[in-house]
Amino acid sequence: MNPTFANPTPARSVLFVCLGNICRSPLAEGVFRSVLEASGRAANVDIDSAGTNGYHTGEAPDPRSIAVARRHGIDIAGQRCRQLTAEDFDRFDLVLGMDQINMTAIERRRPQSSSALTGLFHQVALGAAVQIPDPYYGGETDFENVYRMVLAASKGLLSRF
């Protein structure tokens, strides 16, 4: 985690990052947007998601992520996958990875001049160095578990906005 994360300055933008931007990060984008809207804090907050690879660029999220979000009243079907870019480190205050593998890739791509704060989503939000597992090769239960983890972290992240 970036050591400057203790900075209490409120964030105005957040980018959620996983490997392919089809399972975890689109779900985090949708869930966090929903949590912000429910709190009345969504105005002027930029929320997006990206992947550390470009395998699925332009595609919709995984149908299982769309389904689990829909079961909880969140629509992520209109999102499109994209790859993390150097410009993202200028556009977003917070760049949050879902697991340590993606954090390593995030830090490798981070321009030296960037002031963006980076860290594991769950750790930044809740203080526990928990990685959000990739449910891609799992089933419905795995996607539901990721949803619950993302929801808890999203509620914790709310205090930064």
CA-to-CA separations, 69 to 74, 107, 151, in angstroms, rounded: 5, 29, 11
Residues across the chain: 161
For 12-160, give the CATH class: alpha beta
pLDDT in tens, 65-92: 999 999 999 999 999 999 999 999 999 9
Exposure class string for 100-121: b at 16+ Cβ within 10 A, else e: eebbebbeebbeeebebbbbbb
Place of tokens 């930064």: 160
- What pTM does this model have? 0.94
Secondary structure (3-state) at 96: strand
Amino acid at 88: D
CA distance 61 to 71: 15
pLDDT above 70 (res 1):
no
Q: Catalogue the E-assigned strands of the chain.
A: 13-18, 46-51, 94-97, 117-120
Place of tokens 């990052």: 17
Token representation of residue 128: 């526990």
Catalytic residues: 18, 24, 134
Among the listed residues 82, 100, 75, 69, the one whose alpha carbon sits nearest the alpha carbon of residue 21: 82
CA-to-CA separations, 20 to 37, 40, 43, in angstroms, rounded: 26, 30, 28
pLDDT in tens, 107-148: 999 999 999 999 999 999 999 999 999 999 999 999 999 999
